[in-house]
Amino acid sequence: MEKLIMYTLPLCPICFQAKQFLKNKGVAFEEKKVIHSSVFKEMRKITNSLRVPVMKVGDEVLSGFNRKKYQQAFSSYDINHPEKE
């Protein structure tokens, strides 16, 4: 099972939209806040972009937020979909 990782910044409205989109789709993800230099360096290793959010799942890395591309990316992988309460 692949793990979906989101690199975000606090108070970033686009990051909030991306997280809400994933939550509404029932997609589990790990959020890494790019407020620590170690997380920033980790994000820079996978993308040359300074743009957040960054979504990583499997070999796929997306910078920014595009609903269609996000849907295609997480639909292509076996992602944990927690059961809704």
The answer to whether residue 82 sits within a structural domain is: no
Q: Report the first-to-last Cα separation within the chain, whole angstroms.
A: 22
What global pTM score does this model have?
0.86
The answer to whether residue 80 sits within a structural domain is: no
Per cent of the chain over pLDDT 70 is 89
Cross-sheet strand order for the sheet of 4-8: 30-33, 4-8, 54-57, 60-63
The answer to whether residue 30 sits within a structural domain is: yes
The domain total for the chain is: 1
How does the average pLDDT of the chain come out, rounded? 88
The answer to whether residue 8 sits within a structural domain is: yes
| CATH code of the domain covering residue 8 | 3.40.30.10
The answer to whether residue 38 sits within a structural domain is: yes
DSSP one-letter code for 59: T
How far is the C-alpha of 31 from the C-alpha of 8, rounded, in Å? Answer: 7
Q: Is the pLDDT of residue 84 over 60?
A: no
What are the tens digits of pLDDT across the range 15-48?
999 999 999 998 999 999 999 999 999 999 999 8
What is residue 82's predicted lDDT score, i.e. its pLDDT?
52
SS3 of 45, please? helix
Domain that holds residue 61: 4-75
